[in-house]
Amino acid sequence: MKRIVLGVTGSIAAFKAADIASRLVKAGHQVNVVMTTDAQAFITPLTLQTLSKQPVVTGFYDEKQAWCPGHIELADAADLMLIAPATAHCLAQLAQGLAQDTLTAVALATRASMLIAPAMNGNMWLHPATQRNVATLQEWQVDFEGPDPHGMLACGYEGVGRLAPVEAIVARVETILSENRGKRRL
């Protein structure tokens, strides 16, 4: 059993995190979900808690019982960090090394392999700033799955930007875990 930290950001595709969590649990993994405040506008922590069978972290101060900060504990214990969906804002924070919420703090502190599945408007994805942020993260050995190059987006546009299919994300998780890459080297 591998421990996966599933980060969920404020994208309309956040509802697909439920399917991702469910499939990873069914595959025998422990899934710890960390949600941004914006993600909670699209899907409830209770849904993800029920499917992951683990408490969902929604803020820095969720765990007041332990002496060790919860985000560091998660970062240290993770075999893989998956952020799905990842917004342009999240990519920018990660590329700049910002830790303004629990999700980005865990991402900054972990040395686990990282997989990001972006989901956003096509113009946002193709913007030079976003592409620069993706290139920076790839230089740091962060893997990406998607976004889907074709499809209808929630904003009404058609083209690049949709979250990669859940099956593809889960398959990529399994590939990374089976390759036993261990920790990232920064």
Q: Which residues are catalytic?
A: 155
State the Cα–Cα distance between residues 173 and 84, nearest whole angstrom: 11
State the Cα–Cα distance between residues 104 and 167, nearest whole angstrom: 25
b/e map of 67-89 (b: 16 or more CB within 10 Å)? eeebbebbbeebbbbbbbbbbbb
How far is the CA of 30 from the CAs of 2, 6, 23, 81, in angstroms?
6, 10, 11, 12
